[in-house]
Each structure stands twice: as structure tokens, then as C-alpha cells.
Amino acid sequence: MSKRGWLLFLAMGVIWGIPYAMIRVAVRDFDPVVVAFGRTFLGALVLLPIALYTKGLLPALRRWRWVLLYTLVEVTGPWLLIGHAETKLTSSTVGLLIAAVPLVTILIVTRLGHERLDRRRVIGLLVGFGGVAALVGLDIDMSDLGALAAIGVSVLGYAVGAILIGRKLGDLPPIGVAAASLIFAAVIYAPFTLWRMPAHYPAAPTWSVVGLGLVCTALAFVVFFALIAEVGPSRATVFTYINPAVALLIGVTLLREPLSAGMAIGFPLVILGSILGTVRAKPEVKEPAPA
């Protein structure tokens, strides 16, 4: 891999590893729907001119039904549900649970008959879900089951969204799909946001929302597409195994979240299981999800 490829690779590992901490900070003062709207609105504001300049928006809008479905399962639902979950769970726990997306993706594609579930993948799934079980069993309080369910739905949505990209939207300009989906999401969130607008805008949560929109959404997509162009789609998705480590490191060091036994046991198992379970997967089903 070239020096530029390594820089882009490391940048993506950090950029999509930090949203969980930012969301955690933002939802302490803002309603999760306000956070989700701010992120999608700012992201769309930046990506829309790029999509128009590169003529990528119109092709995406021509297939608006599939783009809308992708938006609902990949952006609108997960970003709102993750925000709600982080009012109860630590950002570290959420980041590690989201790392199960590749495991759920491979389960779906093998169930649909698109790929074969060989011995290595079976072992990977067992190891990975064993890690999730360790996280849930050791770290999640029974009063947080609603938050856990929100993360479960988000993981499923991310997995379905990855498949939609590969099967229905893979031939479209990526920047056009990203811009269109953010616009759709912002429009969906807007009426609910009007009823939840905060009376005050403290600095920390406000800057967290700005960071989510400009860095973890707009910049993330631009860097990701540059990484794909530099190293190819298959190698580009490997950074998804770094994201949970970044989320864990930031949560423990900056937000003073506890490093629990569930994290210590579950984290390596989830990552190892994801690697074993997806190592032979086709590139399009390993498309990572934004946080």
C-alpha cells in the first residue's frame, strides 16, 4: 500500500471511530433526534455541492426508491437509535457492539444464498457472537434492554444497508448516493426536530454535533471514496476492524468510561470473529456503516 493509502486508511479508522464519543457528549444536552438532524443536515450541506459538481446526484435521484430505502435502514434509523442508546450505554460499549455488523451481514448474505457458509465462517460467527454475548452478559444492566434493542436494530440496519449498496446501488456514483441519502434523512428528521429544539446550546454538545456533521459524515465519505480509489474496495473496508479500538480508547481515556471485563473479553472476540467470518466475503457485502 502506498504512503497516501496508509494515511487515508488510518484517517478512516479514526474518523469513523470517534462518532460514538461525540454522540455520547451531544445527547447529554440535546435530544437524539436533534443530534441526528444536525449531523445529516451539515453533512448534506457539504456533500451536495460536490455531488452536483461531479454530476453524481441526478443518477442517484433517478433510483430514489432504493436510495430512500437505503437511507431508512442505514442512516435515519441507526443514527437516531444509537443516539437514544447512548443516553444509557457508554460510547465504548456501543462502539464495540456495532462492530458485530460484519457478522450479521454475512449471516444475511449466506441465508439469501449469495455466499457459502464454510467452516471458517462458522467459527468466526461463533467466536464473534461469543464476544457480543460477553459484552452483553457482563456489561449490560437489565434496565438497559431498550438501549440494547436499539443497538440490535441499528446493527441489522447497517447490515441490510451494506447489502443494498452492493446489490442495488453499487453502479451509482458513491458521492451521489451519500448526498441524496443525507438529504432524505435530514428532511425526515426535520419536523421532529422542530419539537425538540433545545433552549440553550452549550459549547461541548454543540461542537460535537458540528464535528459529527463535518468530520464524521462529510469528510468521512470524501476520505472513504478516496481510499477506495487508492487501494480498491476490498482492502479499503479493512479499517472497520480499527474503529472499535478507537471508540474504546477515546471512551476510556477522554470520557473516563470504565474498562470493564466485558470489553476486555468481548472486544478481541468480536474483532477476531469478524475477520474470520468475512475474510472470504465479496467486497460489496463488507461495505462499512457510518456511526
Please give, one letter per residue, the 3-state secondary structure of 29-89: CCCHHHHHHHHHHHHHHHHHHHHHHCCCHHHHHHCHHHHHHHHHHHHHHHHHHHHHHCCCC
Report the predicted TM-score, pTM, of the whole model to 2 decimal places. Answer: 0.87
pLDDT band at 291, cuts 50/70/90? low
Asked if the model's pLDDT at residue 33 lies above 50, the reply is: yes
Does 288 fall in a domain? no
Confidence of residue 283 (pLDDT cuts 50, 70, 90): very low
Residue 254: give the domain boundaries: 3-283
Per-residue model confidence as pLDDT tens digits over 144-182: 789 999 999 999 999 898 889 888 998 999 999 999 999
Report if residue 32 sits inside a domain.
yes
28 in a structural domain: yes
pLDDT at 49: 97
Alpha carbons 269 and 95: distance in angstroms, whole number: 14
**∠ CA 44-72-21, rounded to 5°:** 65
The total of structural domains in the chain comes to 1
Write out pLDDT tens, residues 120-144: 878 888 888 898 888 888 877 767 7
Residues 67 and 169: beta-carbon distance below 8 Å: yes
Residue 213 inside a domain? The answer is yes
Could you report the per-residue pLDDT of 253-273, keeping only the tens digit for each?
999 999 888 888 988 888 888
Residue 291 in domain: no
Binned at pLDDT 50, 70 and 90, residue 8 comes out as confident
- Which residue did the predictor score with more confidence, 228 or 92? 92
Is there a domain that residue 290 lies in?
no
- Residue 289 maps to a domain: no
pLDDT grade for 282, boundaries at 50, 70 and 90:
very low
Predicted pLDDT of residue 232: 67
- Residues ≥6 apart with Cβ < 8 Å to 236: 9, 12, 224, 227, 228, 230
129: its cell numbers: 457472537
